[in-house]
Amino acid sequence: MGKAKSAAFPYLVWMVIFILVPTALVVVFAFTDRSGCFTLKNLEGVGRYSNVFLRSIGLGAAATAVSLAAGYPLAYRIARTHARRRNALIMLVMLPMWMNFLLRTYAWMTLLEDSGILNHILRFLGLPAAHMINTQGAVVLGMVYNYIPYMILPLYSVLTKIDRSVIEAAQDLGADGRTVFLRVTLPMSMPGVISGVTMVFVPAVSTFIISRMLGGGSNLLVGDLIDMQFLGSAYNPNLGSAISLVLMVLILICMGIMNQFDENGATEGGVMV
């Protein structure tokens, strides 16, 4: 397929203009001050916010883990249903994504509030009211709710493509259900797991609306910091670029490790489990 390569050319040009150049601009801004002179002050300034970074990573990781644990069984079940019902079910997974995420998050505000619907229900059942809004749990819940379809879709996509005869072969060779899952299905679905984890973790770590709406003022995340530097009260695009740069590098390191994982999975098949 020698000629096929050129099909990627327009895309490569696009990426240079709209990804590489803007990223270079972020780096330039991060290392300069307002008058355009080289400085390291911005990066030093980022150090003050390490607790915010830790909180963002912790909450994002929790949301990713919950999404994977909750999403995998559903993707597996949908992949196993009859083809005609399968499309309807996967559309049901995608449908909430068509509602804007600000609205979905807003809906959770009305559910979780102290005088909200869940507390109305708790009171109706004679249970004590619970304080749910403005907690870290509420932020994780909002992340899972918003991003779980991005976990389910790639998992489903890979699981449906698995050749049934491979599974039947494993069964014929005497593997029970659990062994088939752990040694055949799960390793073969690893590319889907990797895509899903990436697609959930990245937006969860960098969100600024979910934390603002469900976390109250006390659960500030990195995204909130960046927004404040560019469009908020603390206007300082140079510091904002420095924070963005650090966030970007941290996530690239995490994902570099994930990619390594994917390469092994793709080339060595079932060796991982």
Q: What angle do CA 200, 75, 261 make, to 5 degrees?
A: 50
- Tell which residue, 105, 112, 106, has the closest CA to residue 129: 112
Establish if 87 lies at the interface with another protein (CB under 8 A).
Answer: yes
What residues numbered 108-127 form the site for another protein, per CB under 8 A? 108-111, 113, 115-117, 120
User: What's the min distance (Å) between Cβ of 97 and another protein?
Assistant: 5
- Cα separation, 131 vs 134, whole angstroms: 8
Q: Which of residues 208-247 bind another protein (CB under 8 A)?
A: 208-209, 213, 223, 226-227, 230-231, 237, 240-241, 244, 247
Task: Kindly state the smallest distance separating residue 104's Cβ from another protein, in Å.
Answer: 6
* Cα(256)–Cα(259) distance, integer angstroms: 5
The terminus-to-terminus CA distance of the chain in angstroms comes to 34
Query: How many CB atoms are located within 10 Å of the residue 26 CB?
Result: 16
- Is residue 95 near another protein by the rule CB under 8 A? yes
Subset of residues 35 to 64 that bind another protein, contact rule: CB under 8 A: none
Nearest distance in Å: CB 271, another protein: 18
Among 45, 62, 106, 232, binds another protein (CB under 8 A): 106
- Using CB under 8 A, pick the residue from 37, 38, 103, 126 that binds another protein: 103
Is 154 an interacting residue with respect to another protein (CB under 8 A)? Answer: yes
Burial of 80 (0-12, 13-18, 19+ CB in 10 A): exposed
